[in-house]
Amino acid sequence: MGTSGAAQKSPAVGVAIVTDSTSYLPPSLIDRWGIQQVDLYVGWERDMRPEHEYQDLDAFYARLHESPRLPSTSQPSPGDFLTCFLPLVSAGRDVVSIHLASGLSGTCESARAAARIAAEPGHAGRVEVVDSQTGAGGLGLLVVAAARAAVAGASLDAVVQAVQDARRTLDIWFCLDTLEYLRRGGRIGAAQAIIGAALTVKPILTFGTEIAPVGRVRTHRRAFERMVEYLRELNDRGASDWIVQHAQEPEDAARLVAEGVSIFGSSPLFCTQVGPVLGAHLGSGLLVGGMSCLDA
């Protein structure tokens, strides 16, 4: 099933927070906030595995580069979500389940199908599924906003409102070495407008209901500089939380964190590597920056 081993930790009372594996939150925050996760699946041909089983990301990205075929990815089944939801609602707990943008994945629909079953008589708790309309670190920031509200004792409706408030102030950009993986995987969305120049520019995009372009530069160096400028813009807009993520770019990620610490005067909420499901569609050479304006 798609629920990872780390998914079983949660506070004994209050609203439970569930997300999927594509937020790439660090284990420290998952444990701290009692967040439960349900895995998406990824693999080549018939070897589809829950995302958390890919422990060696270097090996995954090496195969991604070498393979003539992209790996397939798949949303969790409703049964995967039920494995997570039923123990919670049977114990009388409400659940807020926040997931990758529905424009990018069917994960929300699987969660909603499971939520309808979990709402049957005999289950005291309720499940509310929220479409994050974002992905990766943007999803992670919304999940943390929900977890903070839940730990503070907010009701189910108040936790959902906290997510909606955070979504309104959320902004996330990422730069890629190439659009080739998005094109091959059919997830190009509004970024189609710059596909013709994909081999000669470094696209800068945003996660929303689809992946959309916000700019393009000519060199890797200029892409990094633009991401630093973006962090300065986020600070000027009053960001309270900021994050960095990457795919096989640890040195650039460390440099961006150092720049961000200088700009914000604080450490990022997290800096993590993007895993196989989104990596299959984005490729390596990915650098992500984002923020939320909500106070802790």
pLDDT tens for the chain, residues 1 to 296? 344 433 444 444 689 999 999 999 999 999 999 999 999 999 998 899 999 999 999 999 999 999 989 899 999 999 999 999 999 999 999 999 999 999 889 999 999 999 999 988 777 889 999 999 999 999 999 999 999 999 999 999 999 999 999 999 999 998 888 777 777 655 555 445 455 444 567 888 887 777 777 888 888 899 999 999 999 999 998 888 999 999 999 999 999 999 999 999 999 999 999 999 999 988 888 889 888 765 43
Tell whether 182 and 131 lie within a shared domain: no
Please state the domain count of the chain: 2
Tell whether 81 and 133 lie within a shared domain: yes
What number of other Cβ atoms are within 10 A of residue 120's Cβ?
8
CA angle 54, 58, 63 (to 5 degrees): 85
User: Which residue, 112, 143, 167, sits at the end of a domain?
Assistant: 167
User: Which residue, 117, 142, 167, sits at the end of a domain?
Assistant: 167
Tell whether 157 and 244 lie within a shared domain: no
Q: Which conformational region is residue 189 in: left (phi greater than 0), alpha (psi within -120 to 50 degrees), or beta? A: left
DSSP string of 224-253? HHHHHHHHHHHHHTT-SEEEEEEES-HHHH
Reference 150, options 241, 34, 293; nearest CA is: 34
Q: Indicate the DSSP class of residue 57.
A: H
Give the integer Cα–Cα distance in Å for 281 and 275: 11
Longest CA–CA span in the chain (Å) reads 59
Give the integer Cα–Cα distance in Å for 263 and 229: 10
Tell whether 156 and 180 lie within a shared domain: no
Tell whether 287 and 180 lie within a shared domain: yes
Under DSSP, is residue 36 helix (H, G, I), strand (E, B) or coil? Answer: strand
Number of H helices, E strands in the chain: 10, 13
The pLDDT, as a whole number, for residue 5 is 39
Tell whether 156 and 14 lie within a shared domain: yes
DSSP string of 144-196? HHHHHHHHTT--HHHHHHHHHHHHHH-EEEEE-S-SHHHHHHT--GGGGGGGG
Tell whether 77 and 32 lie within a shared domain: yes
> Which CATH number fits the domain that encloses residue 268?
3.30.1180.10
The pLDDT, as a whole number, for residue 186 is 58
Domain hosting residue 275, numbered range: 169-292
The pLDDT, as a whole number, for residue 96 is 98
- N- to C-terminal Cα separation, the chain: 34
The pLDDT, as a whole number, for residue 253 is 95
CB 176 within 8 A of CB 203: yes
The pLDDT, as a whole number, for residue 217 is 85
- Listed in sequence order, the residues at least 6 apart from 292 whose beta carbon sits closer than 8 Å to its beta carbon are 141, 142, 145, 166, 169, 170, 239, 240, 241
CB 250 within 8 A of CB 286: no
Tell whether 266 and 232 lie within a shared domain: yes
Per-residue exposure over 143-154, b if at least 16 CB sit within 10 Å of its own CB, e if not: bbbbbbbbeeeb
Tell whether 131 and 94 lie within a shared domain: yes
Tell whether 162 and 176 lie within a shared domain: no
The pLDDT, as a whole number, for residue 210 is 75
Give the integer Cα–Cα distance in Å for 23 and 269: 13
- Residue found under tokens 């004994």: 12
> Which CATH number fits the domain that encloses residue 160?
3.40.50.10170
What number of other Cβ atoms are within 10 A of residue 42's Cβ?
25
Tell whether 117 and 184 lie within a shared domain: no
User: Which residue, 139, 167, 195, sits at the end of a domain?
Assistant: 167
Tell whether 26 and 162 lie within a shared domain: yes
Q: In what order do the strands lie in the sheet with 241-247?
A: 211-217, 202-207, 171-175, 286-292, 241-247, 270-273
